[in-house]
Structure 1
Amino acid sequence: MQQASSVTFRFAAPHDAHAVRTIEFEAGQRFVSVGMAGIADALPMEVDLVNRKIAAQQIVVAVAAGETCVGFVMFEPQATRLYVQELDVLTAYAGQRIGAALIEQVAQLARAREMTQLTLSTFREVPWNAPYYRRLGFRDIEEAELDAALIERRDAHIARGLDESKRVFMRRDLA
């Protein structure tokens, strides 16, 4: 993993599970400001899930001074790509391009595995969601372009009660 300014990046370790859940919860609070209190009220991921993702090396953390986790990206392999499941950075560290650096960490992992793209699903209009990812080189995936894995992901979102009409799948091709 690499270093960017005073923040370093590494795979999450078992002792990071609590920090990952705390970061996720704090990041969710931002959704109150865009009228999405349901997201803010959601509980953080189950610790068992976080521990499984850590064991599988599918979470990269951003670490500031004193080994403080300030952000993370969680992903999973899907055939020829990595699917970005979640990206969160503590509000106190916003604006330092930590999220962009975490996405680049995942892009490097994908390239090392000879994968050709990153994909994700996010809210269309939330400023720190789809508009942010477009600035990082992602483009919208049209409905007709969704493959079986992404359709399955969309169906899982609907089953969880997410309004898919407000969401968009995106991809970033890797050189």
Structure 2
Amino acid sequence: MIRLARPGDLPALVDIERAAGSLFRAIGMTAIADDDPGSVAELAVYQVDGRAWVSTGEDDRPVAYLLADVVDGCAHIEQVSVRPECTRRALGRALIETLAGWAGERGLPALTLTTFAEVPWNAPYYERLRFRVLADEEIGDGLRAIRREEAARGLDAWPRVAMIRPL
């Protein structure tokens, strides 16, 4: 089931992020695997504003989540993560479709995100969900700012792209 995140869910989201990040270790991206998963306080901003969704198991505990912003007039996927043992169940896809519905209700024309170009569960996955890589001249000021911040954090040690999916 997908629902808006509740305050009590937030510690589980930190755990999901840590577990999902561990998959990067197997492909030699240990800096990503060891990256700070963020804090409950940071997640609370999204939760309070109604921009955090969770996919839950039968026990109503989160096993995946999505955080969204509005960037350059589009719904922007800030983060989507799934517990490794829960992958290949279309949970990420369902969360993205939930965001697409939210964006449509608000008249937003597209979904955007930034991601690693060559990680199989990143850009190639999003391409299967009808996202496409934005050419440099298509990237708006907001996405450019996100990319600069990512580069400053060292994420550009691996190729990254900005992507869009029109709604």
* TM norm structure 1: 0.92
Matched, 1:82 2:75: yes
Q: Deviations over 1:48-76 (max 9, x none)?
A: 10111111111100011111211001110
SS at match of 1:32: helix
Distance 1:145 1:45 in 2: 30
**How many pairs align?**
167
SS at match of 1:83: strand
Instruction: Describe how 1:9-158 pairs up with structure 2 within 5 A.
Output: 9-158=2-151
CA contact (8 A) 2:72 2:143 kept: no
Distance 1:164 1:116 in 2: 31
One-letter amino acid of the structure 2 residue matched with residue 160 of structure 1: R
Give 5+ residue unaligned stretches, structure 2.
none
One-letter amino acid of the structure 1 residue matched with residue 143 of structure 2: L
SS at match of 2:121: coil
Distance 2:73 2:144 in 1: 16
Q: Deviations over 1:69-92 (max 9, x none)?
A: 110011101253111011111111
One-letter amino acid of the structure 2 residue matched with residue 13 of structure 1: R
CA RMSD of aligned residues (A): 1.1
One-letter amino acid of the structure 1 residue matched with residue 126 of structure 2: Y
Task: Name the % identity.
Answer: 35
CA contact (8 A) 1:154 1:164 kept: no
Give 5+ residue unaligned stretches, structure 1.
1-7
Distance 1:97 1:26 in 2: 18
One-letter amino acid of the structure 2 residue matched with residue 93 of structure 1: C
Q: Which runs of 4+ in 1 moved over 4 A?
A: none
In structure 2, the partner of 1:5 is none
Distance 1:54 1:164 in 2: 31
One-letter amino acid of the structure 2 residue matched with residue 95 of structure 1: R
Shift of residue 147, structure 1, vs aligned partner? 1.1
SS at match of 2:155: coil
